[in-house]
Amino acid sequence: MFVIRLSGRVGAQDVQAGNMLVVIGAVNGAVADCLTGTLVGRQTVSAECFHIWRTQVNAIDDFPWIANARYWPLIQQTYRVNGPNGILPVS
């Protein structure tokens, strides 16, 4: 497990278990936190930007194939520290 630190809010649908994400930022090493009620050192990343695909546990390859469109389009969200956030279009 690791911790991603980002200033700002993240949407409830984007923090659901099973979503895929990519994070860009500096690794801070093991920082003590108490997410589980016990103080534990966890690898921490200070995110500059991260991108989420709302897959909800499914592999991207599991999404249905549509002729001429490849896969069923996933809802995607990008969060940025010093820029606008945005949901990418699904069509």
pLDDT tens for 70-85 read 556 678 888 888 777 7
Q: Please say if the pLDDT value at position 90 is more than 60.
A: no
* pTM beyond cutoff 0.75: no
Q: Where does the pLDDT of residue 18 fall: very low under 50, low under 70, confident under 90, or very high at 90 and above?
A: confident
CA distances from 89 to 11, 49, 73, 74, 78 (A): 16, 18, 9, 9, 12
Model confidence at 55, in pLDDT bands (50, 70, 90)? confident
With a cut of 50, say whether residue 56 has pLDDT above it: yes
d(CA 54, CA 75): 6
* Cβ pair 19, 56 in contact under 8 A: yes
Average the pLDDT over 7-20 and give the result.
84
Query: What pLDDT, on the 0 to 100 scale, is given for residue 73?
Result: 67
Higher pLDDT, 39 or 64: 39
